[in-house]
Structures are given as C-alpha cells and as structure tokens.
C-alpha cells in the first residue's frame, strides 16, 4: 500500500513507532512544546539511553525532529507525519468500507436460499 508519498516501509515505521505507549506519550508531550531529550528522560522510569532510543524510533518514522539548542537536543512533533498516519488509516478504512458495501450489495441481490425449506429443528 502506498499513501501518496508513503511507501509500505514508511507506513510500517509509522505504525511501529505508534505501537508503543512511551513513544505515543513522547509524541503527545512534544506537541505541547519542545522538550529536551534529557527532560523527557526525567519523566519516565527508564534510562536516558532507553528514552533516546524511543526518540530515535519516532525520528526515523518522521514523527518528531530533533534540533540542537546549545548543549540540548530539543524534540518537536512533526504535524505532517501525524497527518500521513491519519491518511494511511483513512485509506485502509475506505478499502474496508468498500468491501463491506460490496458484500451488502451481493447479499441484497442474492435469492434467499432454501426459503421454502423448514429450519432444522422446526416442525411445519
């Protein structure tokens, strides 16, 4: 599946990044304002290196960017990446809705099989 500029691999990276609760929380916190990686590390019961790895996964997926500000690395959410994830979900939803609509059409046109036959266990 390709969503405009997204390859299957890019969609995989997006949803892999979003599959983890800590990464989703980092993403939410980064929307509210740019936080340094060290400040983020203070917020979680894990090592600084573990938080750095989470940020790196988000960055590879294009969900956040890091920019150096003095000695700090500031993390900022990339709004376009969130929109790309939404478009990927919208495309999947459209495919499924199309399939459900086609099945409903087929069922509406199909003759009722065995309408004259009694249901098993039912006496006439």
What is the model's pLDDT at position 118? 57
What is the model's pLDDT at position 61? 93
What is the model's pLDDT at position 22? 97
The answer, yes or no, to whether residue 33 has pLDDT greater than 50, is: yes
Instruction: Name the average pLDDT for the chain.
Output: 85
What is the model's pLDDT at position 1? 44
Q: What residue ranges define each of the domains in the chain, with the CATH number in brackets?
A: 8-81 (1.10.10.10)
Whether the Cβ atoms of residue 17 and residue 60 lie closer than 8 Å to each other? yes
How far, in Å, CA of 124 to CA of 118, rounded?
7
The b/e string for 104-118 (b: 16+ C-beta within 10 A; e otherwise) is: eeeeeeeeeeeeeee
What would the pLDDT profile of 35-86 be if each residue is shown by its tens digit? Answer: 999 999 999 999 999 999 999 999 999 999 998 888 888 999 988 887 888 8
pTM over 0.85: no
What is the model's pLDDT at position 2? 43
Radius of gyration over alpha carbons of the chain, in Å?
24
What is the model's pLDDT at position 105? 86
């Amino acid at each position: 599946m390709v969503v405009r500029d997204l390859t299957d691999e890019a969609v995989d990276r997006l949803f892999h990044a979003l599959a983890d609760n800590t990464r989703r929380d980092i993403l939410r916190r980064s929307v509210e304002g740019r936080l340094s990686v060290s400040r983020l590390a203070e917020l979680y019961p894990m090592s600084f290196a573990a938080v750095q790895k989470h940020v790196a996964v988000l960055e590879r997926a294009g969900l956040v960017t890091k920019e150096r500000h003095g000695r700090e690395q500031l993390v900022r959410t990339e709004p376009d990446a969130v929109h790309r994830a939404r478009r990927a979900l919208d495309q999947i939803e459209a495919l499924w809705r199309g399939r459900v609509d086609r099945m409903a059409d087929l069922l509406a046109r199909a003759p009722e099989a065995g309408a004259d036959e009694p249901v098993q266990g039912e006496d006439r």
